[in-house]
Amino acid sequence: MSGVDGRSGGGVGTGDVMTVDQPARPAAGAGGGAWSLTWHGVRTVAALELRQRVRSSRWKTALVVWVVAVGAITLLSSGALTALSSGDGGPSRGPLLFAIVSALVLGLGLLVTPTLTSTAVNGDRGAGTLATLQVTLLSAAEIALGKLLAAWAAALAFLVTSVPFLVIALALGDVPVAALPRVLAVVAVVLAAVCGIGLGWSTVAARPAGSTVLTFLTVAALAVFTPVFFGIAFASTSVTETVTVHGVSPAQWQELDEEELAAGTPDDLECTTYTEEREVVHTERIWWLLALNPFVVLADGAGTSPGEIDGDDLRVDPLGQIGAGVRSLRTGPPEVADECSGWFAGTAGLTSSDVPEPEPGAAVWPWGLGAHVLLGTLGLVVAVRRLQIPQRTLPRGTRVA
């Protein structure tokens, strides 16, 4: 029989033997790529994750302990502040309690959130459930983003339960109403970034314990080590240079005798502008180290003003003071050191009208929050790349299915 070649319906015939081309297997994801996204896929993965958390008694216990801890510390702090402000000239309770509760919620959130995603991938791989998702039409991006949204939703549940205690602090007065949504928004974004960081480490480390430790170390580097690094770098930015000063010149002080110095500031002193060599610390070179700190981001993003003294009323606002301080560090040393408006303010013959008022420093929280979002996004990207199949190499001892 002579060979006959023919094509019909995708098959190729050669003689009496026919082979049929099999249709290609659809790639993972509806779009056919690791980064293809559909809301249905993301919602499916997130729903599976949330069902597992809701059924877990540990998550419910953690939520109850969270509410009890935040509530107890809020009540104890309120009582202590009431005792301090009971007399004349005591500090206002509202700003102090609002700062305490805000920092407490953020601090506890940084402790709880890493546990929500640091084992999201390697934990499922060890249990043999990750491969079940990977062989479906779900893309790697849908799996990663679904796990991220589920962990963020769980973290937001802790944040929502803290809102009543923030409202109590707000009700005490002297705190702008806009500070509450600003604080909630900043904390929510920081927790989302931590979820992304933990998700990335869970795909890099083969063991859940390793990814949990790495996630906590990353959070500690941002929250604890950044002030340490700032303090270490502070001395390196101090240089000796010529400074323009508006104040009482050294020559005038040398002309005074001991009796005039003992009597206080003499009336015949005069503020002049002169130059001299001084040690200057250029904090504008290292301010970004503090901008990475989530507590600094919270304080500057809250939008409260520094404390002030109005008659017998003392308003102490830690969030506002931290925000104003870090903005001043970003601005750096002034062009003219004005010594007459501070130490000698109100003294006869001493004025600082020739020195312009320093402009308020620019906001720091957008840079710090942007850095957190960048780290969280990096963790998500790493997770998507590590969830792609097939994988060329896997860490030793990694379970495939």
**pLDDT one-digit tens code per residue, 313-355:** 566 888 999 999 999 999 888 888 877 765 555 454 444 455 5
In the chain, what percentage of residues exceed pLDDT 90? Answer: 43
Per DSSP, which regions of 249-377 are E strands?
272-281, 308-310, 313-315, 336-338
Report the C-alpha gap between 133 and 118 in whole angstroms. Answer: 18
Exposure string over 10-35, b if 16+ CB within 10 A, otherwise e: eeeeeeeeeeeeeeeeeebbbeeebe
Least confident of 120-129, 169-178, 259-268: 259-268
Report the C-alpha gap between 364 and 253 in whole angstroms. Answer: 40
Least confident of 107-111, 199-203, 206-210: 206-210
pLDDT score recorded for residue 32? 55
Q: Binning pLDDT at 50, 70 and 90, where does residue 216 land? A: very high
The structure tokens listed for 303 are: 């939008």
Residue 383 has pLDDT above 90, yes or no: yes
Mean pLDDT over all residues of the chain? Answer: 81
User: Smallest Cα–Cα separation from 199: which of 131, 122, 139?
Assistant: 122
pTM: 0.81
How many CB atoms sit inside 10 A of residue 314's CB?
15
